[in-house]
Amino acid sequence: MSNGEGKKKHSGCRTVLIVLLVIILLIVAGVFVFFKMHEDELKEAMTSIDCSVPVGEEAPDFEVTTTDGETVSMKGLLEGKDALVVVLFATWCGPCEKEFPFMDEVYQENKDRISMIALDVDMLDNEDGAKKYAEEHGLSFPIAYADNLPESIYTTAYPTTFIIDRTGTIQFCRVGSIPEKATFEKIVGTFTGDDYQPRQLGYYSFYGYAGKKMIPGIEFSVTSESGTETYTTNEDGYYHLFTDKPENMKVKVLSVPDGCEIDGTGEKETGIMSAPVSLPVK
């Protein structure tokens, strides 16, 4: 190859690289513009909850194969127990990973009365991923990849935890993580004991977030079928509320600490599912 041919080839390679770089920059710029143009819609989609668990109804039976190779059913897990705790999760879910250790402690302390199983239901996961997760985390309750649950049980919000009582009825469903061991103990304790009477349980976590930090001291009211009560977010910016049953309650921010403002009318609704509820502040 002559010296001139070598220079032409080198120049051609540089041209190709420049063209590729320009294309990549155009793609990145296009994605950025798209996100900015549709920022509100994307935020709404990312925070929306798509979940279906028939609280108050008889639990549909299901059968899964655990990561240990054992085939179990809902009815089999519940047999002889006061309650069955089911957590729907994904292997990439950070809040799931945070709550599983203390959930496992509560399960160990109460396994004569409760059963528990974690079901990996995310479409991005698979059986091998669930098995690897189980091996890495060493939890004592069973884990299974479940892509064939009944249609009435569905979620894209991880974790989602529901509890089936001894009568086979789904009496509790929490969309979102449970913050600490004491709270999980309280929830489980509702469904155990010789004096248990069938009942539902609602659990909402109201929180204020503005300026990239949690806001304590937000006063707000919650109106349910039984009336209106007023609460204030704690030092950590949360207020956890347990109710006799899950219901769509009306929420209104009444006052905020200095440096914050009420967003819009300050009103919103909880929705039927027990879940974290962001208070409208900014």
Are residues 208 and 171 both part of a single domain?
A: no
In a domain, 34, yes or no: no
Task: Order the strands of the 143-145 sheet from edge to edge.
Answer: 143-145, 114-120, 83-89, 160-165, 170-175
CATH number at residue 236: 2.60.40.10
Among 165, 199, 233, residue at a domain's last position: 199
Among 199, 220, 240, residue at a domain's last position: 199
Which neighbouring-strand residues pair with 194? none
The answer to whether residues 245 and 202 touch, using CB atoms and an 8 Å cutoff, is yes
**pLDDT score, position 45:** 35
Structure tokens at 148: 């064939």
Are residues 188 and 95 both part of a single domain?
A: yes
Are residues 149 and 224 both part of a single domain?
A: no
Are residues 173 and 62 both part of a single domain?
A: yes
Are residues 161 and 237 both part of a single domain?
A: no
Are residues 184 and 112 both part of a single domain?
A: yes
**pLDDT score, position 12:** 60
In a domain, 122, yes or no: yes
Could you give the number of structural domains in the chain?
2
In a domain, 102, yes or no: yes
d(CA 203, CA 85): 15
Amino acid identity of residue 236, one-letter, is D
Tens of each residue's pLDDT in the chain, 282 residues? 555 555 555 556 666 666 666 666 655 455 444 334 433 433 333 345 678 899 999 999 999 999 999 999 999 999 999 999 999 999 999 999 999 999 999 999 999 999 999 999 999 999 999 999 999 999 999 999 998 899 999 999 999 999 999 999 999 999 999 999 999 999 999 999 999 999 999 999 999 998 889 999 999 999 999 999 999 999 999 999 999 888 999 999 999 999 999 999 999 999 888 999 999 999
Are residues 210 and 181 both part of a single domain?
A: no
**pLDDT score, position 11:** 59
In a domain, 16, yes or no: no
CATH number at residue 94: 3.40.30.10
Interior/surface letters 135-162, b for 16+ CB within 10 angstroms, e for the rest: eeeebebbbbbbeebeeebebebbbbbb
Are residues 208 and 251 both part of a single domain?
A: yes
**pLDDT score, position 51:** 84
Are residues 138 and 260 both part of a single domain?
A: no
Domain that holds residue 248: 204-278
Among 199, 221, 245, residue at a domain's last position: 199
Q: Could you tell me if residue 134 is left (phi over 0), alpha (psi between -120 and 50 degrees) or otherwise beta?
A: alpha
Are residues 185 and 215 both part of a single domain?
A: no
In a domain, 4, yes or no: no
Are residues 98 and 219 both part of a single domain?
A: no
pTM of the model: 0.79
